[in-house]
Amino acid sequence: MQISQALAFGGPYRAGGLVLAVMIGAILGCSSEPAKFEPNRIAMYKAELSLGTKLDPTYQVQPIEKILTETFGTPDKPDLSLWDPKKLVPDLAEERADIQTEYDEIKAELDKALKDPDLDPEDRADIEADLADVKKDLDAVDKQIAAVEGLVQLDMLQMAAGPYGSAEDGTPRGLYRQHCVHCHGITGNGAGPTAAFLNPYPRDFRLGKFKWKSTTTGAPPTHDDLKRVITNGVPGTAMPSFKLLPAEEIEALTQYVTYLSLRGELERNLILDFSDIDVAVLKPAGMQSEEEKEYVESLSADELKEEQTGLKEELAELSDPEIFLPDYLAPIVTKWAFADKNVTDVPEKPEVVLDESIVHGRDLFFKKGGCATCHGQSALGDGQTAEMFYDDWTEEYYDPKNPEHLEEFLALGALPPRKLQPRNLRLGNFRGGRRPVDVYWRIRNGIEGAKMPAAQQLTEEEIWHVVDFVRKGLPYDSLSQPPEHVQENVRVRN
Amino acid sequence: MKLMQLGLMLVALVGLSAQQATAQEWGTVKGRFVVDGKAPTLPQMDVTKDQAFCGAKLPDPTLQIDANGGLKNVALWLYLDRGATAPAVHPSYAEADKKPVVIDNKNCMYDPHVATVVVGQPVEFKNSDPIPHNFKVEGFANPGMNNLVPVGGVFETKFENEERYPMNASCSIHPWMSAKIVVRELPYMAVSKEDGSFTIENLPVGKHKLQIWHEVPGTIKELVIGGKTVKDRKGLLEIEVKAGNNDLGDIKIAAGDLK
């Protein structure tokens, strides 16, 4: 009986095994194919919508991919061979060469003078002082160039890139794929396999925007800002702390996140510029929109030829590293390399009696600070919140006033839009860190990409009062059972 | 470093234009944007907060057409092809470009709804309302900003880079509010008034391209000027400027394109 049963089931089981074998084969087959950065289809589709026509694969989409691969390499093999400071920061490189020449001249003068047995000690001191001055200038320029060169370094990127494992000498490889890829995705688009199940969604690096930072709105985060987020995680979200990793590995990941951000920003700018070039005359007939077809048909054979030649030249120019490095990559890289310039100075916290500071802070929270408008009378995040607020990453593809193309964007991999909520300040949990300085930065600079504005109307002292009120002056509600609430304006309407 | 270069270039440019002013001839361009056909009437916007001050409904400022079909808030600016040299700037702009552009919050709406700003020109974001507002300004070439402007307050800033298309200003507190800011290197630009009319003063004589834009369709891809239909994906209109006044007359935009 049992035997026959086994036999009866033998057939389908064997078939199942076969399917399994095929599946394993397929998976292995896939994994042996090199990992690829995904094109930013959302930005491309957005460009297509505003143009009313499709981007041309040969003359628009492929050149963008080619430039990106030349400038950044692939997920398995980062490549920075084009990153020459002479091209990225030509002004600095030139300045350095000039100062170096000056330095060499003074040095030669000094060497000559030192050979003179009758050298006046005062003259010697003068020349030496000159030399020291020039050396100082030289060091200052070197420091700036070092900031550009140090932003992303190949050996660090190699530790983070590629499949998980280690090199022959034991240095780790594939840290990004080991720790980050399942949420942030291979391209850093914040759409890894787990992304859809997380709230908030993982960060999409490609806009180059980060929330938890010390710099002013519109400026990229500093290296230390990114490192802090990776080290400490983002409390209250799925982003864990990587404090237990060796310092060098955290450094490698920080640089890799920077690398993906720079790449994403370059891609978006290229999409914008390539889509602005009218390639109708080069498009194959099937790809043209009605309007483009009409236009091309209106041209004589000679005109068509002339336009095609001119256009190909223009496109070739844009794809030339001599053009795209200084025009496109350099502005993004310098912005990041010198992010330190935009760090908000935090004055020392004044010595105050805490209770008094909290009273001031409460007053500012309701009046001059305007905090209660969104965070609510009781700071539960239940103020009169507009129902149409989404963050900048969502607004890349979703315009709540014009939602008609949402389905198409979702089909391209965009995550379903989620409304932005003002933070409930009574949970004792601050995503960007709960040190006084973290809260100070949030209030002073606002939150990049979110709706929280910079409270530029408050003085430094006033901000410290609000910091005290927010950190120490609010009742504490347990994280697991926050009080139920309905937004004020919804409450009033119903 | 870049900025210094730019500054030097500007100084050189101003110097150059001052020199050329005697020889250079200038022409002023006028015209009027008219809607051809019946444009859709936009429903009033729902006010979701601060109703006590703002009221329950506000008119939608995106499409404003007067009784004669004049279309307000069409922006147009001088367009340069990639690598083209910028034309001379008339000396009359030197003073005007130092005056601050004021963008005010009045009765829970931005005034003006479409503003033009020259790179480096001071901009004052003002709040004349008795409630707090904030300005979240997003462009492409300029870093974004998001500042709270308290009752009676002003936030001053400058934009250092030209924007290919207008920047978007919005209020994080009141979601219906929005304004557009045109930021260009050259001062040759205008926004049409209530009756659809516009004036760009003192363009150098010769051939120019104007890029024409409205919030609803983006670039105006098709228009009728002097009875002739002009189609261009980027909304470019080629004109020839002669010395003195150049009236382009009525420029028609089909109502169907404003949906």
What pLDDT score does A142 carry? 94
Tokens encoding A434: 């709960």
Whether A397 maps to a domain, the answer reads no
Per the CB < 8 A criterion, the answer to whether A210 and A219 are in contact is no
Whether A12 maps to a domain, the answer reads no
Residues of A in contact with B132 (CB under 8 A): 370, 373
Tokens encoding B255: 């109502």
Q: Are residues A315 and A234 in the same domain?
A: yes
Q: Are residues A206 and A255 in the same domain?
A: yes
CA–CA dist B49, B177 (Å, integer): 12
A399: pLDDT confidence band, cut at 50, 70 and 90?
Answer: confident
User: Residues in chain B with pLDDT < 50?
Assistant: 1, 20-21
Smallest Cα distance from B175 to chain A, Å: 6
Count of residues making up chain A: 494
**Per-residue model confidence as pLDDT tens digits over A237-276:** 999 999 999 999 999 999 999 999 999 999 999 999 899 8
Final residue of a structural domain among A309, A343, A377: A343
The residue ranges of every structural domain in chain B are 25-91+187-259, 98-185
What pLDDT score does B50 carry? 86
What pLDDT score does B1 carry? 45
Tokens encoding A10: 């033998």
Tokens encoding B11: 């100084």
DSSP result, A252-290:
HHHHHHHHHHHHHHHHHHHHHHHHTS--GGGS-GGG--H
Q: Are residues A275 and A299 in the same domain?
A: yes
Q: Are residues A322 and A266 in the same domain?
A: yes
CA–CA dist A244, A415 (Å, integer): 31
Q: Are residues A454 and A467 in the same domain?
A: yes
Tally of helices (H runs) and strands (E runs) in chain B? 3, 21
Query: B206-214 and B74-79 as β-strands: parallel, antiparallel, unpaired?
Result: antiparallel
Q: Given 2.60.40.10, 3.30.420.40, 3.40.50.620, 3.30.930.10, which CATH number is that of B25-91+187-259? A: 2.60.40.10
Q: Nearest CA to B39 among B238, B236, B254, B187?
A: B254
For residue B74, CA distances in Å to A440, B116, B208 come to 42, 11, 18
What pLDDT score does A8 carry? 43
Whether A298 maps to a domain, the answer reads yes
Supply the pTM of this predicted model: 0.83
Q: Are residues A230 and A172 in the same domain?
A: yes
Q: How many CB atoms lie within 10 A of CB B8?
A: 10
3-state DSSP call for residue A89? coil
CATH class of the domain at B98-185: mainly beta
Strands (E), A29-133: none
Whether A398 maps to a domain, the answer reads no
In this structure, what is the dihedral angle of CA atoms A400, A403, A406, A408, given to the nearest 10 degrees? -150
CA–CA dist A20, A25 (Å, integer): 8
What pLDDT score does A479 carry? 63
The ipTM (two decimal places) reads 0.72
The count of domains in chain A is 3
Q: Does A278 touch chain B (CB under 8 A)?
A: yes
Q: Are residues A310 and A285 in the same domain?
A: yes
- Are both B25-91+187-259 and B98-185 of the same fold? yes
Whether A29 maps to a domain, the answer reads no
pLDDT at residue A308 is higher than 80: yes
CA–CA dist A355, A418 (Å, integer): 38
What pLDDT score does A144 carry? 93
B218/A95 Cβ within 8 A: no
* Surface of A (216-245) touching B: CB under 8 A: 217-219
CA–CA dist B215, B114 (Å, integer): 9
Per the CB < 8 A criterion, the answer to whether A217 and B146 are in contact is yes
**Per-residue model confidence as pLDDT tens digits over A270-289:** 999 899 888 989 998 888 88
pLDDT at residue A157 is higher than 50: yes
Q: Which of B49, B147, B153 sits opposite A384 (nearest CB)?
A: B49
**Amino acid letter, A193:** P
Percent of chain A past pLDDT 90, that is, above it, reads: 68
**Per-residue model confidence as pLDDT tens digits over A442-493:** 999 999 999 999 998 899 999 999 999 999 999 887 766 666 666 666 666 5
Of the residues A344, A390, A457, A463, the best mutation for testing chain B's interface (the one with the most B CB atoms within 10 Å of its CB) is: A457
What pLDDT score does B26 carry? 95
Cis-peptide into B187, omega within 30 deg: no
B153/A457 Cβ within 8 A: yes
Q: Which of A217, A389, A454 sits opposite B175 (nearest CB)?
A: A389
Final residue of a structural domain among A151, A172, A191: A151
Q: Nearest CA to B191 among B117, B139, B120?
A: B117
Q: Are residues A338 and A242 in the same domain?
A: yes
CA–CA dist B184, B29 (Å, integer): 18
Q: Which of A368, A373, A451 sits opposite B136 (nearest CB)?
A: A451
Q: Which of A92, A448, A453 sits opposite B134 (nearest CB)?
A: A453
pLDDT at residue A25 is higher than 80: no
φ/ψ bin of B56: left (φ > 0), alpha (ψ from -120 to 50), beta (otherwise): alpha
Whether A224 maps to a domain, the answer reads yes
pLDDT at residue A4 is higher than 80: no
pLDDT at residue A494 is higher than 90: no
What pLDDT score does A3 carry? 42
**Per-residue model confidence as pLDDT tens digits over A38-84:** 999 999 999 999 888 899 999 999 999 999 999 999 999 999 999 99
Number of C-alpha atoms within 13 angstroms, CB side, residue A136? 6
**For the domain that residue A458 is a member of, what is the CATH number?**
1.10.760.10
Q: Nearest CA to B75 among B204, B218, B171?
A: B218
Q: Are residues A198 and A279 in the same domain?
A: yes
For chain A, what is the mean pLDDT? 89
Smallest Cα distance from A386 to chain B, Å: 6
Q: Nearest CA to B54 among B122, B166, B132?
A: B132
Query: B206-214 and B218-219 as β-strands: parallel, antiparallel, unpaired?
Result: antiparallel
Phi first, then psi, for residue B15 (nearest 5°) are -60, -45
DSSP letter, residue A241: -
Judged by average pLDDT, the poorest of A181-195, A226-240, A322-336, A473-487 is A473-487
Q: Give the mean model confidence (pLDDT) for residues A156-176.
A: 95
* Residue range(s) defining the domain that contains residue A447: 354-385+421-493
Residue A175: CB partners within 8 Å, gap ≥ 6? A159, A160, A164, A249, A252, A253, A256
Measured between CA atoms, the residue of chain B closest to residue A216 is B145
Smallest Cα distance from B148 to chain A, Å: 5
Whether A332 maps to a domain, the answer reads yes
Q: Are residues A105 and A246 in the same domain?
A: no
CA–CA dist A297, B55 (Å, integer): 54
Q: Are residues A254 and A301 in the same domain?
A: yes
